[in-house]
């Protein structure tokens, strides 16, 4: 064995086995100054450029392949970023930025990353010219305030009530059923929407036009016995988290059966317990059992004999949603079951699909009419998953309008208008921060430029034309005509963005860029110091 070098230490563990400690592993490599900033911006630009082509209605899709080989096709920014494997620290921050926008607003996840990437790209140019990163970040913050204030000035109000939802339909017209879904669970007085009451489920088969809003709950289960009725009206539901099986000692146990008589005694004991459990359920007046756990064939047969339809292996989230919808109580023990704890539904029925044996349970006309299910159909799982993501985004848009019914206009119109306002503000500033403010205005143009490019238009020419028209016509509603309708007025085309969504994009992107610009030293442990 060769002797270890001067940069290594030879040692043995408590069992005498040799190992080597390499000294370089304990040292640290430092990347500082402008080199660090360039590295950060390069990583951010790479992520932003990957996702930029997915922006807008004409954005291109990405194929995501998981380590297990599962394929996802999507143009949803949050989904793309969450499934990307990124190693660079700044790239990870952009992924977290998208997740923050998705968690808080539910929409605009692609735009916020594109804006952050554009801000960093312009910051790199300013820093290369000798402007200190702190002055750049201060200028960006100042420009962001101007842009956010300008959003308030150009915003319009979308008037709606539960009886008059035409404007909400126009806002989320790509998936109309979501408006009814959100308003079913919305509290307009508190301006709040409880998404826990909305379940989005899907089943392969049919087409997207078969997607429906169910005023109730859809569960991917069927009745436990093939001879049980396929429909129960005026259902009084016992919701159980205890299994239909004889009680067992909680400690380890063993039972030796040495004769036929002993076996018959055990069989009789189990049957008595099953009958006792069923009697406790029927005594409460229940005519349907929904159980979180399974039960064996004997219990299933006894339930059929006693004309007590049952559904087994219902998951925890579905159990909770059923309890909320039917205003029932989840019962952990048969002894605790009382008539007051039963849930009520007008009809519980099985639905089947085509020529397959697949069946699902639909619980409708529930006591709590606010619980709803959006039931998505599609030719394959990828289409259903993408439809679910689109429905989620549309629901978030409607929820945001319930919270704050002010909107700005999409198609890049709001960004172009804010860019003009920020440029005008820069002309009134004499300090060096005016360069950073103008850079912020240029970064805002990245959104309409990407929309035009993704739509097959000449991006610079189209942007210049719209900017000129916004100034001459004094019309902040003009944006990129992505769908080639012949009109650039986003109000006529019903292209809206909730004000709180657009404001959040500006604020989150600016905060992240400020933080990145303040990083001048990256220390990587476990690397050589060469």
pLDDT of residue 469: 93
pLDDT at 20 over 60: no
What pLDDT, in 10s, does the model give residues 212-230? 888 888 888 889 888 899 8
pLDDT surpasses 60 at 6: no
pLDDT confidence of residue 359: 84
pLDDT of residue 237: 93
CA 24 to CA 529: how far, in whole Å?
A: 8
Question: How far is the CA of 432 from the CAs of 140, 403, 442, in angstroms?
Answer: 12, 39, 17
Which of 53, 74, 110, 211 is flagged as catalytic? 110
Give dist(CA 70, CA 381) in Å, integer.
11
- pLDDT of res. 5: 44
How far apart, in whole angstroms, are the C-alpha atoms of residue 186 and residue 162?
9
Assess whether pLDDT exceeds 50 at residue 29: no
What pLDDT shows up at residue 171? 67
Burial of 27 (0-12, 13-18, 19+ CB in 10 A): middle
* Integer CA distances (angstroms), 519 to 89, 90, 220, 313, 515, in order: 11, 10, 50, 52, 7
Q: What angle do CA 282, 288, 294 make, to 5 degrees?
A: 100
Task: Let me know if 393 is a catalytic residue.
Answer: yes
Closest Cα partner for 151 from 513, 503, 527?
Answer: 503
The two structure tokens encoding residue 182:
């959100």
Catalytic status, residue 109:
yes
Catalytic annotation, pick one of 138, 393, 445, 481: 393
Task: Kindly tell me if the per-residue pLDDT of 381 is higher than 80.
Answer: yes
- In this model, does residue 44 exceed pLDDT 50? yes
Alpha-carbon distances, residue 478 vs 32, 296, 420, 472 (angstroms): 44, 66, 13, 11
The SS3 of residue 339 is helix
175, with CB counted inside 10 A (0-12, 13-18, 19+), is: buried
**Range 475-501 average pLDDT:** 88
How would residue 3 be classed by pLDDT, with cut points 50, 70 and 90?
Answer: very low
pLDDT confidence bin for 446, thresholds 50/70/90: very high
Helices vs strands, H then E, count in the chain:
16, 21
Residue 22: pLDDT above 60? no
Three-class DSSP category at 528: coil
Give the pTM. Answer: 0.76
- Residue 206 has a pLDDT of 79
Output the six-digit token pair for 286.
């229940």
The answer to whether 232 and 408 have CB atoms below 8 angstroms apart is no
Distance CA 370, CA 395 (A): 15
What integer pLDDT is reported at residue 523 of this predicted model? 63
Mean pLDDT of 421-426: 92
* Range with the poorest average pLDDT among 33-47, 187-201, 473-487: 33-47
- In the chain, % of residues over pLDDT 70: 85
User: Is 355 known to be catalytic?
Assistant: no
- Residue 157 CA to residue 408 CA, distance in Å, equals 9
Q: Nearest to residue 109, comparing CAs of 508, 510, 514?
A: 508
Instruction: Pick 267 or 281 by higher pLDDT.
Output: 281
Query: Which helix (H) or strand (E) is 102 found in, with range?
Result: helix 89-104
**pLDDT value, residue 309:** 92
Q: Across residues 377-404, what is the average pLDDT?
A: 84
Q: Reply yes or no on whether 296 is catalytic.
A: no
CA distance 110 to 268: 64
Task: Catalogue all structural domains in the chain, each as residue range(s) with its CATH number.
Answer: 30-157+409-525 (1.10.560.10), 159-207+373-404 (3.30.260.10), 216-368 (3.50.7.10)
Residue in the structure block whose two tokens are 């909400």: 168
Rounded average pLDDT over 157-186: 68
pLDDT 10s digits, 75-97: 888 888 888 877 777 788 888 88
* Length, in residues, of the chain: 530
- The active-site residue, picked from 72, 74, 76, 326, is 76
Cα–Cα distances (Å) from 461 to 190, 196, 468, 480, in that order, read 46, 46, 11, 11
Q: Which of 109, 171, 178, 510 is catalytic?
A: 109
Query: Which pLDDT band, with edges at 50, 70 and 90, does 12 fall under?
Result: low
Q: Confidence class of residue 188 from pLDDT cuts 50, 70 and 90? A: confident
Coil, helix or strand for 10? strand
Q: What is the rounded CA–CA span in Å between residue 488 and residue 481?
A: 5
Q: For residue 455, give every residue at least 6 positions away whose Cβ sits within 8 Å of its Cβ, in sequence order, or none.
A: 56, 58, 480, 481, 482, 483, 484
Mean pLDDT calculated for residue range 446-450: 92
pLDDT(10) > 60: no
Compute the average pLDDT of residues 44-55: 86
Provide, rounded to the nearest whole percent, the portion of the chain with pLDDT above 90: 24
Q: What is the end-to-end Cα distance of the chain in Å, rounded?
A: 28
Q: How confident is the model at residue 351 (pLDDT cuts 50, 70, 90)?
A: confident
Mean pLDDT of the chain: 82
Q: Distance between CA 112 and CA 503 in Å, rounded?
A: 10
């Amino acid at each position: 064995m060769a002797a270890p070098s001067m940069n290594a230490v030879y040692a043995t563990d408590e069992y005498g086995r040799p190992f080597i400690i390499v000294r370089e592993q304990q040292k640290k490599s430092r990347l500082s100054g402008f080199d660090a900033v360039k590295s950060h911006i390069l990583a951010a630009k790479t992520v932003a450029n990957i996702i930029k082509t997915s922006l807008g209605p004409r954005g291109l899709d990405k194929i995501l392949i998981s380590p297990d080989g599962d394929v996802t096709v999507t143009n949803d920014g949050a989904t793309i970023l969450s499934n990307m494997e990124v190693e660079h620290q700044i790239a990870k921050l952009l992924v977290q930025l998208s997740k923050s926008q998705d968690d808080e607003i539910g929409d605009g996840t692609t735009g916020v990353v594109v804006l952050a990437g554009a801000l960093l790209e312009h910051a790199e140019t300013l820093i290369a010219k000798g402007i200190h990163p702190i002055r750049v970040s201060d200028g960006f913050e100042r420009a962001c305030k101007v842009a956010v204030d300008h959003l308030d000035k150009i915003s319009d109000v979308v008037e709606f009530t539960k009886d008059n939802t035409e404007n909400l339909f126009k806002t989320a017209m790509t998936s109309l059923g979501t408006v009814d879904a959100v308003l079913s669970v919305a509290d307009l007085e508190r301006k709040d929407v409880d998404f826990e009451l909305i379940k989005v489920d899907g089943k392969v088969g049919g087409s997207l036009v078969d997607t429906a809003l169910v005023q109730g709950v859809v569960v991917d289960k069927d009745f436990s016995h093939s001879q049980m009725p396929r429909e129960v009206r005026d259902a009084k539901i016992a919701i159980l988290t205890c299994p239909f099986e004889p009680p067992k000692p909680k400690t380890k146990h063993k039972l030796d059966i040495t004769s036929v008589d002993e076996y018959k005694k055990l069989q009789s004991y189990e049957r008595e317990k099953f009958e006792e459990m069923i009697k406790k359920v029927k005594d409460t007046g229940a005519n349907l059992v929904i159980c979180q756990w399974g039960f064996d064939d004997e219990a299933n047969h006894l339930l059929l004999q006693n004309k007590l339809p049952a559904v087994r292996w219902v998951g925890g989230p579905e159990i909770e949603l059923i309890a909320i919808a039917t205003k029932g109580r989840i019962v952990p023990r048969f002894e605790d079951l009382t008539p007051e704890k039963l849930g009520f539904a007008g009809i519980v029925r099985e639905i089947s699909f085509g020529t397959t044996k697949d069946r699902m349970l639909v619980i409708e006309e529930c006591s709590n009419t606010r619980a709803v299910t959006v039931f998505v159909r599609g030719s394959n799982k990828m289409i259903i998953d993408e439809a679910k993501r689109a429905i989620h985004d549309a629901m978030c848009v409607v929820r945001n309008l319930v919270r704050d019914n002010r909107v700005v206009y999409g198609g890049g119109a709001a960004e172009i208008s804010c860019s003009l306002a920020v440029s005008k503000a820069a002309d009134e500033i004499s300090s060096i921060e005016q360069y950073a403010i103008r850079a912020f205005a240029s970064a805002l143009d990245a959104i309409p430029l990407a929309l035009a490019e993704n739509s097959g238009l000449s991006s610079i020419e189209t942007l210049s034309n719209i900017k000129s028209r916004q100034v001459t016509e004094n019309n902040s509603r003009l944006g990129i005509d992505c769908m080639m309708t012949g009109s650039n007025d986003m109000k006529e085309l019903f292209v809206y963005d909730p004000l709180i969504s657009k404001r959040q994009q500006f604020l989150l992107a600016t905060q992240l860029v400020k933080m990145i610009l303040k990083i001048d030293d990256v220390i990587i442990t476990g690397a050589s110091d060469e």
